[in-house]
Amino acid sequence: MTYICVKFNQEKMEILVCISKTPETTAKIAFTDGGKNFDTQGVQFIMNPYDEWYALVRAIELKEQLGGKVTVINVGDAASDIVIRKALAIGADEAVRVDVNPQSAIYTAKQIAEYVKSNSFDAVFLGKETIDYNGAEVGAMVSEYLDLPYFSFASNIETDGLKSRITRDVEGGVEISEVEGRFVLSAAKGLAEQRIPNMKGIMMAKRKPLNVIPAVGEDDSLEIISYDLPEGKSGVKMIDPENMDELVRLLHEESKVI
């Protein structure tokens, strides 16, 4: 009897966290072959901050609180292994990499959904968006493939593993919803505090499993034809600090924003 009481209303959670790699923010953006391809030379790649700081850390916190397991998944080639190892060092238990370089969000989502279908999870966590292509798309697509409720831009989640109460950012405020059972969530700022991997974590990460699996289906919905650089500012006009009337005049007459 007592055992049942202890377990009452609390379930272990198995969470899948989707992690992606993006160019480090200060990286110089350049293109080769007349704007056809992104020039990765000299570019350092990092784990997408929303995936690392918020989605992954909150999943680990929930595992620590309720028991269970955190698995990370990446759709990418072997160049992603470095960010996967970092996720394991921060505290994920195991990792899987779908060995393909995706060209579209829908193809990425399809790979993640297929993995969830053959390995059941209680929840799927993603970042709110990748900081390179800023699509904020994959989460919605994964939830559609799995026919699960989706909470985009979550800044808070309380759960006992069965019933969850989630706060999501909307324009000018927040929306608080409740859901029973499985769901997909994308993480925004506020969901957790960043964790820095320690030496022990880094050592342990080397022994944790990283399974590489093949991709399914065709990636045929989108292609990037070319890139270009946006026109820059034509140069700053310096205004005399004593003459704010002049600035107001320019804002009104020249740039017509007031």
Partner 1 sequence: MSVLVYAESPKGKFKKTSLEVVYYGHLAAKAMNTDCIALVLGSTSDAAVLGKYGASKVIHVTDDSLDNFDAQTHSTAITKVAENVGANLVVFGFTANGKALTGRVGVKMNASILSGVSSVPNLENGFVLRKSVFSGKANAHYNLKKENKVISLMGNSFQIEELGSSAEVETMTLDLPTAKTVVKELKTVEGTVPLPEAELVVSAGRGMKGPENWGIIEELARTLGATTACSRPVADTGWRPHHEHVGQTGVAIRPNLYIAAGISGAIQHLAGVNKSKVIVVINKDPEAPFFKAADYGICADLFDVVPRLNEALKKFKQNN
Ligand X SMILES: Nc1ncnc2c1ncn2[C@@H]1O[C@H](COP(=O)(O)O)[C@@H](O)[C@H]1O
Ligand Y SMILES: Cc1cc2nc3c(=O)[nH]c(=O)nc-3n(C[C@H](O)[C@H](O)[C@H](O)COP(=O)(O)OP(=O)(O)OC[C@H]3O[C@@H](n4cnc5c(N)ncnc54)[C@H](O)[C@@H]3O)c2cc1C
Binding residues vs ligand Y (CB under 6 A): 25, 49
Task: Answer yes or no whether residue 87 interacts with ligand X by CB under 6 A.
Answer: no
Task: Answer yes or no whether residue 190 interacts with partner 1 by CB under 8 A.
Answer: yes
Give dist(CA 88, CA 85) in Å, integer. 5
Task: Answer yes or no whether residue 40 interacts with partner 1 by CB under 8 A.
Answer: no
Residue with tokens 């608080």: 176
Give dist(CA 68, CA 93) in Å, integer. 10
Name the residue nearer to partner 1 (CB basis): 105 or 205. 105
Name the residue nearer to ligand X (CB basis): 91 or 139. 139
- Cβ-contact 139, 152 below 8 angstroms: yes
Site for ligand X in 134-173 (CB under 6 A): 135-139
Integer-rounded Cα Rg, in Å, for the chain is 22
Give dist(CA 189, CA 192) in Å, integer. 7
With CB under 5 to 8 Å by kind, the binding choice for 126 among partner 1, ligand Y, ligand X, none is ligand X
Task: Answer yes or no whether residue 229 interacts with partner 1 by CB under 8 A.
Answer: yes
Instruction: Find the helix or strand (DSSP H, E) in which 15 lies.
Output: strand 13-18
Query: How far apart are CB 71 and ligand X at their closest, in Å?
Result: 12
Task: Answer yes or no whether residue 18 interacts with ligand X by CB under 6 A.
Answer: yes
Task: Answer yes or no whether residue 48 interacts with ligand X by CB under 6 A.
Answer: yes
Name the residue nearer to ligand Y (CB basis): 25 or 65. 25
Region of 113-121, 123-131, 202-210, 243-251 interacting with ligand X (CB under 6 A): 123-131
CA 257 to chain centre: 36
With CB under 5 to 8 Å by kind, the binding choice for 253 among partner 1, ligand Y, ligand X, none is none
Q: In the 8-state DSSP scheme, what is residue 172?
A: T
Give dist(CA 108, CA 51) in Å, integer. 15
Sign of CA dihedral 153, 121, 115, 97: positive
Task: Answer yes or no whether residue 57 interacts with partner 1 by CB under 8 A.
Answer: no
Region of 5-13, 43-51, 172-180, 226-234 interacting with ligand X (CB under 6 A): 43-51
Give dist(CA 11, CA 89) in Å, integer. 25
Query: How far apart are CB 27 and ligand Y at their closest, in Å?
Result: 12
Task: Answer yes or no whether residue 201 interacts with partner 1 by CB under 8 A.
Answer: no
- Cβ-contact 167, 159 below 8 angstroms: no
Task: Answer yes or no whether residue 100 interacts with ligand X by CB under 6 A.
Answer: no
